[in-house]
Structure formats: C-alpha cells, structure tokens
Structure 1
Amino acid sequence: MSIPASHRPAREWLWLVVALAVVAAVAAPFWEVFTGPKAREEWAKWDEDRVKRLLLGPEQVLCYVCAVWAALILQSRYREVRRQRRAFNLDLLPTEEGARILPEDARPLARKVEQVTAGRPFILANMIRLGLGKFAISKSAADVSEVVRNQADVELSRLITGMSTVNYLAWAVPAIGFVGTVRGLGGAFGANSPNIQVFTDQAKDQLKIAFDCTLVALLLSLVVMYFIHALQRAEETLVTDAQQYCQEHLLLRLYDPATEAAHL
C-alpha cells in the first residue's frame, strides 16, 4: 500500500527551527539592551515570595486543575488514535494485485473482519463492515461508496462532539485568569488609605495579582490549545486515511455487475 499523503511529514518542526533561527538573528543585537544593569536589577526583585505569589494564587491553582484535566483527556484520546491505527496493519481485506470482491464474497469478508478485530471497536473495520453489508444487499459500488462516505462523516462528528469537554476547559483557563484580573483591578481601585505611600503599595500589590493571573492563564491556554489542535489533526487524519484505505482496498475492487455490463 502506498503511503497516504497525510502520512508524509509536513516538516512543520523544520520550519519552526528556521523561524527560531531568523528571530534569534534579528533579536540578538537587542539582547544586550534587555540584559543591562537596570534589567538585572529588576530581575533581582523576583525573590521566592514573588515567584510564589505569581504561580500559587487561587485563580492560578484553578487554571492548573483545568489544564491537567484537559491534558489527561487529550492523552487518553491520543492513545485511542494510536490504537485505532493498528487496524491498518490487520488483514481486513484482500490486498493482492488484481483481487476482486464479488457480491457473494461480501458477507464472508464481513465475518472475517469481525473475527480479525475480535469485537474490538475500530473505525476502519466498522466502515469496511458497513460497506460490505451494503454491497451484499444492493450489489452496487456506488451505494457502498455512499455508505463509506456517510460513515466517515458520522465518525468525524462523533470525534468532534467528544472534544466538547476539552474545548470548554480550554475556554475556562483564560476565563478564570480574567476573573483574577478583575479581582486584582477591583482591589487596586478599591484601595483606601490616607497615606499616599500605603495607598500606592496596596494598589501595586493588587495590580500584581491582576497581571499574574492573566499571565499564567494565557500561557496555560496557549499550551492546551496547541495540544487540542494536534489531537484534532490526528483524529481527522485517521478518518481520512480510513476513507483512503476503503477506496483502495474495497471500492476499487468491487465487482459491480451493472457497471461491468455497461462497459461491455
């Protein structure tokens, strides 16, 4: 079987390395400016207490919970994608050159698919089984093609629906961060002290809370969204490759009596 186009590397990581090299070359002359004495003096203020307040606020902890929850779901779904890909290595259909599938072969092949998969749910096996079942009844390759296409749409819709919780968590992370931002801004504007220095210190502390929550939430959101994107692409590629497998080893090998008679 030829390698599907979706299996060929897109060289995205290569382009990432090129992008990093270009940015580094442009940004290097400015690096000295940001690492001067004044910058080092600002970094010296980041003591243990400051880092703790940055990373361990109540809103940050809630963001961590949502991010870890989403990561666990994504990890389980990625393992399922890898399991589904094992079906491509199973002996589900004849792959010999010139092999044809007759209408009377459809039901025995469908039973063979069930035996090979041993009752395990595979997207590819389900598409083949439904296609063979339709071919046994209608003896029409066009009907089989329609069944395979419809089942692919159903599987893709099911995968998209299964991402609803993860999509909510990806939205919840920055939303929780903005809750902390509002809390910090409210505390800054609500600071009340007759002493101007005390008032300024209170306002600065509350603004730190606001910006810390936003920073942590947005960074976590970027990470979660990347892995959501990667998983969705893997799932969509799985369904596309299953369709291509059915096209090469099922649809193009069907013996359609009506089509054969038309060609004679």
Structure 2
Amino acid sequence: MLTQRGVVPYCIVFLSCWSLMILLIKYSKFKLQNRALSLHILPTDDPGFILTPTSAKRVMEKLYRSVDDPRHFLLTRRVYVALANLRNMGDIGDVDKVLGTQADNDEAIVDSSYTILKGFVWAIPVLGFIGTVLGLSVALGSFGDVLSNAEEMGELKTALQSVTGGLSTAFETTLEGLVSALCIQMLMTGMQRKEEQFLDDCRDYCQKNIVGRLRLINNEL
C-alpha cells in the first residue's frame, strides 16, 4: 500500500524516523549525563568539610579525577565554573549567582533542543492532510472520467469501486500522519519530563554540595 500512495507517506516515514533518532540520541545523552549525579566531589573522609577559596582547589582536583573533562557533563561543568570563580575571585557571595546563571543557561539549551522535534510534530500531520487532498483530487478526477466513459450500470459499479478504493487510500495518509505525530509527541513529552527532572536534580545537587557548604562559612563568620 505504501508504494501506491505517492511521495507523501515516504515523507511521513522519513520525518518520523528522524524524530525517533533524535529522541534516541537525547535519551542516550540523558543516561550518560544522569550518571554524574552519583559522583562524590566532596572529600568523603571529612563530613564537616567547608568549601573555601583554598579548599576549592582540592575539590577541583577530585573533580578531574572523577571525569576526564568536567566540561563534558552538564552537572560537573556547573560545579567547575562555580569552583573556578570561587578560587580565582575569592568571593563566596558570587558562587550562588554563578550556579543560578549556569542553571538558567542549561534550561534554555535543553528547551531549544526540542525546536526541530516540535517542528516535525507539526509537519507530519500536515503532510498527512496534504496526502489526503492529493488523493481526493485524484479520486474525484477518476470519478469524472467514470461518469463520462461508463455506458452500462455494471461498468459504472466496477469503476466506482476503484474510485472508492482511492478515497480510502487518501484518508489513510491522514491517519498515518496523526498516529505518527501522536506517538512522537508522547515520547517527546516523556523525554522532556526526564530532562526537566534531571535539571532540578542538578540544582539540588549544587545547593547541597556547593552552596550549602558556603553557608557554613557565612554562619561561622
């Protein structure tokens, strides 16, 4: 059936497969990024460890021992930037602001990464409607030929069967487009919720392991 409905179904399948590939890549990256939450960047042998401009160097060294390059992971990049700012500037008051700015930037990047997928979810059902319109135009054209050429009722019935078959084929493209868009939208929503939860977990991680330690200094002062 697919080969008898023109180029539109191929476009629907192509965009659907492209969307699924994007989601698969995003899920693979998410699984890898999520592993960073299990890292222990603070010294485990010192429960009362306090983060200062001096001790930040110690944490950064442990960070580099934990991953090849902290900038490759969203969470470790936040921690790296915050610690580098603390170590170089020595101002603990700016660390929370730096982490907040990094969090906002990461959220904007994650949100913009769905732009192509949202466009495909919009385009796929539109392609289905286009396929239906094309199919209807062909079927109605065939119906006109039937009325002008059929001389007997038997010939008319036989010809009308092919016309109605063309109509059913035309509406199938809309069904394909709507079902494909629905499936992609559901998968995209699930993936988006996972990434949003991951971003929230990163905020909590930084609040507990970075900002929380700085507040200990403020309390002592």
* Aligned mates of 1:257, 1:68 — CA distance in 2: 53
Partner of 1:182: 133
Q: CA RMSD in A?
A: 2.4
Structure 2 contact 5–170 (Cα < 8 Å) conserved: no
Partner of 2:153: none
Structure 2 spans left out of the alignment, 5+ residues: 151-155
Partner of 2:77: 126
Deviation at 1:122, TM superposition (A): 0.7
The correspondence of residues 39-50 of structure 1 with structure 2, limited to 5 A, is none
Partner of 1:90: 39
Count of aligned positions: 209
* Aligned mates of 1:56, 1:219 — CA distance in 2: 20
Structure 2 contact 23–188 (Cα < 8 Å) conserved: yes
Pick the structure with more helix per residue. 2
Percent of pairs identical after alignment? 26
Deviation at 1:244, TM superposition (A): 0.4
Q: 1:166 aligns with which of 114, 117, 123?
A: 117
1:113 matches 2:63: yes
Give the TM-score of the pair, scaled to structure 2: 0.83
* Aligned mates of 1:179, 1:105 — CA distance in 2: 64
Say which is worse superposed, 129-138 or 179-188, in terms of deviation. 129-138
Give the TM-score of the pair, scaled to structure 1: 0.71
* Aligned mates of 2:30, 2:93 — CA distance in 1: 29
Structure 1 contact 87–125 (Cα < 8 Å) conserved: yes
Say which is worse superposed, 117-126 or 247-256, in terms of deviation. 247-256
One-letter code of the match for 1:174?
P
Structure 1 spans left out of the alignment, 5+ residues: 1-51
Partner of 1:76: 25
Partner of 1:146: 97
Structure 2 contact 36–75 (Cα < 8 Å) conserved: yes
Deviation at 1:115, TM superposition (A): 3.0
Pair 1:256–1:138, CA change in 2 (3 A): farther
Structure 2 contact 43–59 (Cα < 8 Å) conserved: no
